[in-house]
Amino acid sequence: MWSTLKQIFLMIKVNLGSLPRRLAISLSMVLSVGLVVAVLAGFLAMARGFEGALAGAGSPGIAVILGGGTNQETGSDVPAEAIRSLAAMSGDTGIARDGAGGPALSREIVVPIDIRGRDGEQTLSLRGMDAAGPGLRQRARLSQGRLFTPGAREIVVGARIAEIFGFAVGETVRLGAVDWKVAGRFTSGGSAFESEIWADLEAVQSAFDRLGQVQSLRLRLDGAGGLAALRARLSGLSGPPLTAVSEAELYAAQAERTENLIRLFGWPIALLMAIGAMAGTLNTMMSSVSDRAVEIATLRLLGFARLPVFAATWVEAVLLSAAGAVFGVVGSMIAFDGWQASTMGANNTKMAFQLNVTPDVILTAGLLGLAIGVIGGALPALAATRLPLGAALRARG
């Protein structure tokens, strides 16, 4: 056993020592593996960033009531009678009370609006809400200015939208057919809320000819059993059925759909590239075996077994792919981590988010890079063990 290990280490040393003779083709293998790793890491970082933006928006202590049998606000409608019934309910409704003793809830509506930015015209979300609405977003904080005044045509802009479109505090901007004054900006820990524009509910209803329309109710739950109690109360209301979901569940479902879509595109592309990289690995290592044919034959004639020959060639392929994986991971962290991106959100409007190269992204992409060397290096390593010794020596005269 000790003799075999010594032979393996010696063969690895000989292989690595001959790398300068094959520097160009070896570097091409490293670069191809690195590219595969970087592409997969980019797609996975996009999925992670989108998930983080939506996960940061959801809170298990907040519920959203939707009507019309939909799980999106744009297709929902909550009748005025249902809202009055909820507000008038007594006993255990599952809804927490505000300082005045009334239910802690906000009537809301989302209106898609077209804004022209540096990348052309894009659709954003203008959310009309009651005065209690901002307080129901636990991580939302004013970073500049103030909140909108009830009844006034004033807006508060999320940080990510402000970065892209400007919206300086005090500026007047045209949304739809009317002008609005930018009263402030807010942050929300990088969550999806930062891709929204907030305004007073009645001002939005009036400006966009949606008087009386309410698409959702956002409310604070009264303890851990609040959601179950609320659902029981909603089931007893007359009229169109209403659905209550926790804010965390709502955004988690939205994140899952988009994450799956990103991975659906990302993995096939990365795997196809990996197959190409494996072909490159096969070519590189076969070239390595051919270049070292005399050395391998000489060592075999001196008594080296097949196993050290196989192990040394295979380890060389794994080390080169590991170098490529490191190169790809470092490159993806430099290029993608923190990079600003955007996509269409659940309400068919722009949602900005930040790519996030997390440890699990690094591990997944890195393992794919290593797999290229592990699989692609096996056949050349086997070929090295079956090298005809006499032919190899005669080929070099």
pTM as predicted = 0.73
Banded pLDDT at 377 (limits 50, 70, 90): confident
- Inform me whether the pLDDT recorded for 354 exceeds 90: no
How many CB atoms sit inside 10 A of residue 395's CB?
12
Integer angstrom CA distances of residue 33 from 19, 133, 241, 264, 271 = 17, 49, 54, 21, 11
Banded pLDDT at 380 (limits 50, 70, 90): confident
CB crowding 70-97: b at 16 or more within 10 Å, else e? eebbbebbbbeebbebbeebeeebbbbe
pLDDT, tens digit (0-9, with 9 covering 90-100), for 144-171: 999 999 999 999 999 988 888 888 999 9
- Tokens standing for residue 170: 């005090």
Average pLDDT over the chain reads 84
pLDDT, tens digit (0-9, with 9 covering 90-100), for 68-108: 777 778 788 999 898 888 888 877 888 888 888 888 899 99
pLDDT, tens digit (0-9, with 9 covering 90-100), for 5-44: 887 787 778 777 777 777 888 888 889 999 999 999 988 8
Residues with Cβ within 8 Å of residue 11, at least 6 apart in sequence: 299, 304, 308, 309, 311, 312
Residues β-bridged to residue 125: 112, 196
Residues with Cβ within 8 Å of residue 341, at least 6 apart in sequence: 46, 49, 352, 353, 354, 355
| The pLDDT of residue 213 | 93
| The pLDDT of residue 247 | 85
| The pLDDT of residue 326 | 95
- Inform me whether the pLDDT recorded for 304 exceeds 60: yes
CA atoms within 13 A on the CB side of 363: 3
Report the alpha-carbon distance of residue 77 to residue 110 in Å, rounded.
11
- Backbone angles phi and psi of 326, in degrees to 5: -65, -45
Integer angstrom CA distances of residue 18 from 139, 232, 309 = 58, 75, 15
